[in-house]
Structure 1
């Protein structure tokens, strides 16, 4: 009995109050509610509503990735250089709340301009929202290792965040087109603008609440002062868990973005069933089940095996969808969607946890705790992957001679199918191979956690 009491006491250490847990989750609800609108519908909005060619959109997304090569690390360095009464990561949730909301609306604003200036408008607003998304989202990942040292609590927090993220992304994906029709009354330009205004308002209000409720508790000597860039970079030296997770982020999100943003094209042109888009996207919510199960599965088989299982299930789902696409069979496609989303839930729930572990690993291995630079690289690679996925989609559509709002040629239909089925399939298989090389075992995690807990306790007593 005494031993069980000690175990329960240890688990309770670092556990956060529910208002803070829910606020952490709500932060990614807000991010997904707005950025999933952009990821799922902006390409369609550009080509079929605003009137920009698929080739121009693909080029835009490639150029935006060049900017990402600088803005992701920039925000990480800024976080590591920030020291305020609110902490290092938390202030960014307040400072860049309104700018991100404003650019969300601007992305879906359609000024009456010549084609050249339409493209300029798209470049400014898309790159702007991309940079600002890093400013509001990277701090959500960098703040996790500062909220608690408890590994189990981190899994709980990441699970709640993934649940809310999935819910926010699914909700906006399902209601977007009906709301465009409702707000626009047949005018898609007006409908998308008012939808973006609504999403931006939701984001702004939620982020104010999130900023008020989150706290940074894990304070070390390094976290209480600005870290020089050279010192921050030491946290990455031989940090193999970090290398695996950032490459995983790139590959996985490349596939998911390529698939997500052509969903409307696939159902509209390949299947001739545009009315099923919202129905199909509703099944993204299946991932909520696997996200909810993640902490229990991790306890039984570990993080690595949970990721491998999730990716295996996702590949099986894509295979079913490929079969359904070749047969033009909607029920098989829906079943494949359900299976794939169930597997994706495990992956999404654990990526942030692996990043928090990489922060600890950098401090354990190199003596440097740099939450900003370690986690910002992951956000950068995720966005870079999403951008390359978007560029691939645009370039494939251009290669297939896609023409908006017309009956598509065989080559255009193949390009849409490749984006929806085969690009994500390849990305999932590569992600599986990457995780095979992940070597941070549960025993090594416990050794690392014990060392850092003692180190932080000693540092606090020395102050």
Structure 2
């Protein structure tokens, strides 16, 4: 939980921190976030393979998330440190610390995620453990904020509604990844928990997060946003409104469509689980 709290701060606050606190331009900040996520996304499947091939008295996953906690905390602290150095050195420092903080989180979180498919074989239990489907709630909250205008109270209500739905949608994703582990074993006979959860969770999340930050930064850059200005131009305010409200709505609608198409694989999951159970019995009897 503590790791996720820190990671959420990084994901939601990093672009603002790079621009308004560290003094980097919006374009440079966006590129750094994208590069960092790409590096981390490449490292995620490697981390998954390492987990799958780990054999210790503590198991496959436990050593990694125990050893990864301290480096993650240190790199997050360094990431939010603002040394008095030249602008070029700031860019290098910010990029290196961001990559190290991201990768140390992946080294800690991938082993934890790889444990989930083994906790239960019941899809309903997984869904209950990871959350319920509230994507519509997120869309409603986003639209609410879009029409809140200057009413701060109304905007905060919409923000809370959207966050409840977004949090549920994010946790639901891990249950879907767990089903792919079952499907992979059913199809190939290999249960690659670490690799598949790293690809399905860490890789996709990191790439999505990096692209999201990059798109927002490029949008703000195109409308002339300047973090050093106390008062932003009308075009900058429009860009902020689009990137904060309407771009996420479009992405959530696309996600909703993909979730509907995923339903057929959910209906196939009982067949997969039944055949895997039969294979396990046959292996024990052999």
- Match for 1:334 among 156, 162, 166? 156
Task: List aligned pairs for 1:148-163, cutoff 5 A.
Answer: 148-158=120-130
- Match for 1:46 among 18, 24, 27? 18
* Maintained 8 Å contact 1:318/1:336: yes
Structure 1 Cα separation of the partners of residues 189 and 241 of structure 2: 48
Find out whether 1:425 has 2:249 as its counterpart.
yes
Structure 1 Cα separation of the partners of residues 119 and 30 of structure 2: 39
Match of 2:182 in 1: 360
Find out whether 1:387 has 2:230 as its counterpart.
no
Match of 2:73 in 1: 101
CA displacement, residues 133-179 of structure 1 (integer Å, 9 cap, x when unaligned): 11111112111112333444434443xxxxxxxxxxxxxxxxxxxxx
CA displacement, residues 406-440 of structure 1 (integer Å, 9 cap, x when unaligned): 11111211121111101101110110111121112
- Match for 1:89 among 32, 44, 61? 61
Distance apart, 1:87 and its partner CA: 1.9
Structure 2 Cα separation of the partners of residues 390 and 414 of structure 1: 17
Find out whether 1:440 has 2:262 as its counterpart.
no
* Maintained 8 Å contact 1:321/1:421: yes
Distance apart, 1:453 and its partner CA: 2.4
For structure 1, which segment, 51-60 or 66-75, has the greater mean C-alpha deviation from structure 2 after superposition? Answer: 66-75
Structure 2 Cα separation of the partners of residues 312 and 153 of structure 1: 22
- Match for 1:343 among 165, 177, 182? 165
CA displacement, residues 313-355 of structure 1 (integer Å, 9 cap, x when unaligned): 222222221112xx32323323322332343243223211111
For structure 2, which runs of at least 5 residues remain unmatched after alignment? none
* Maintained 8 Å contact 1:73/1:380: yes
* Maintained 8 Å contact 1:321/1:337: yes
Structure 2 Cα separation of the partners of residues 435 and 148 of structure 1: 22
Match of 2:196 in 1: 374
Match of 2:109 in 1: 137
- SS class of match (2:147): helix
Structure 1 Cα separation of the partners of residues 42 and 150 of structure 2: 43
CA gap of 1:87–1:152, structure 2 versus 1, over 3 A, is farther
Structure 2 Cα separation of the partners of residues 452 and 336 of structure 1: 44
- SS class of match (2:242): helix
CA displacement, residues 359-395 of structure 1 (integer Å, 9 cap, x when unaligned): 0111112222111111101211111111111112222
RMSD value, Cα: 1.9
Match of 2:138 in 1: 314
* Maintained 8 Å contact 2:34/2:214: yes
Structure 1 Cα separation of the partners of residues 88 and 167 of structure 2: 41
Distance apart, 1:401 and its partner CA: 2.1
* TM value normalised by structure 2: 0.91
* Maintained 8 Å contact 1:90/1:143: no
Distance apart, 1:458 and its partner CA: 4.0
- Match for 2:220 among 387, 397, 404? 397
- SS class of match (1:440): helix
What count of residue pairs does the alignment treat as equivalent?
Answer: 283
* Maintained 8 Å contact 1:402/1:412: yes
Structure 1 Cα separation of the partners of residues 108 and 283 of structure 2: 30
Structure 2 Cα separation of the partners of residues 317 and 395 of structure 1: 25
